[in-house]
Structure 1
């Protein structure tokens, strides 16, 4: 798999039926290793190891319904009150991050009302803080660490 613009982590990999599988510690199962899953696994590890978010506050591929259609957030971080704090949208490294990507995560956030949005393809990362009063988001240099706003 491609080297990402994130720290290097070691994952449990195995082969099955000519496919490489990666073990997801959060869902406690092996998944087909796609380029998007590679980014998702790295980014969630980044949140836990580097930014010190407790794994107990993180959900992977959490389902939500928007306009009677089932969607899934890639990574959803809750605060200690159980409210949505951060939504992370992961794309494969070959996918260019465009306005459509931001529109997608913004649609999710109309329902979830998270304080922060992150869009990443593993090579580029965009961090935003919501400004609900102005109905917009403000770009940040980086996402705050867990302890910095607790």
Structure 2
């Protein structure tokens, strides 16, 4: 897998039936290593190790329904009160981050109502704080660290 624009990480891998698997520390199981999963695992490591978010507040790949369509978010970080603090959309490194990508996350966020958004393909990262009152994004240099 290619080098991504994240701090280096120590991952656990296993091979089975000619497939490579990576251990997901949130789901506590090995998952097939695809390019998007490679990005997702780097984001998880970044959130835990660099931003100090507890594993207990991180949720991976759950289904949500938007306009009667089933969609699946990549990563959300909850606040202790159960509201959503950050929504993360991961793309494979070969996928360019476009307006369409932002629109996808914005549609998800209509239901999720998170305070922050992160969109990444592992090479380029975009961070936004939501300004619901003025209906706009405020672009940031990085996500805030976990407030203990």
Checking the alignment, whether the CA contact within 8 Å between 1:39 and 1:121 is kept in structure 2 is: yes
- My pick for the range that moved more, 111-120 or 63-72, is 63-72
Checking the alignment, whether the CA contact within 8 Å between 1:93 and 1:123 is kept in structure 2 is: yes
Name 2:109's counterpart in structure 1.
109
TM-score (norm 1): 0.96
Runs of 4+ in 1 over 2 A off after TM superposition: none
1:12 correspondence with 2:12? yes
Distance (Å, rounded) in 2 between the aligned partners of 1:63 and 1:48: 23
Distance (Å, rounded) in 2 between the aligned partners of 1:68 and 1:124: 31
Root-mean-square deviation (CA), in Å?
Answer: 0.8
Q: Structure 1 stretches of 5 or more lacking a match?
A: none
Using the TM superposition, give the Cα deviation of residue 10 of structure 1 relative to its aligned residue in structure 2, in angstroms: 1.1
Using the TM superposition, give the Cα deviation of residue 25 of structure 1 relative to its aligned residue in structure 2, in angstroms: 1.2
Name 1:57's counterpart in structure 2.
57
Name 2:77's counterpart in structure 1.
77
Distance (Å, rounded) in 2 between the aligned partners of 1:96 and 1:59: 25
1:94 correspondence with 2:94? yes
Distance (Å, rounded) in 1 between the aligned partners of 2:29 and 2:43: 18
Checking the alignment, whether the CA contact within 8 Å between 1:62 and 1:76 is kept in structure 2 is: no
SS of 1:139's equivalent in the other structure is: strand
Distance (Å, rounded) in 1 between the aligned partners of 2:117 and 2:63: 17
Over residues 67-116 of structure 1, what are the superposed CA-to-partner deviations in whole Å (9 max), with x where a residue is unaligned? Answer: 11111110000011110110000000111000000000000000110000
Aligned 1:131-150 pairs, distance under 5 A: 131-147=131-147
Over residues 26-71 of structure 1, what are the superposed CA-to-partner deviations in whole Å (9 max), with x where a residue is unaligned? Answer: 1111111001000000001100000001111000112111111111
SS of 1:146's equivalent in the other structure is: coil
Q: Structure 2 stretches of 5 or more lacking a match?
A: none
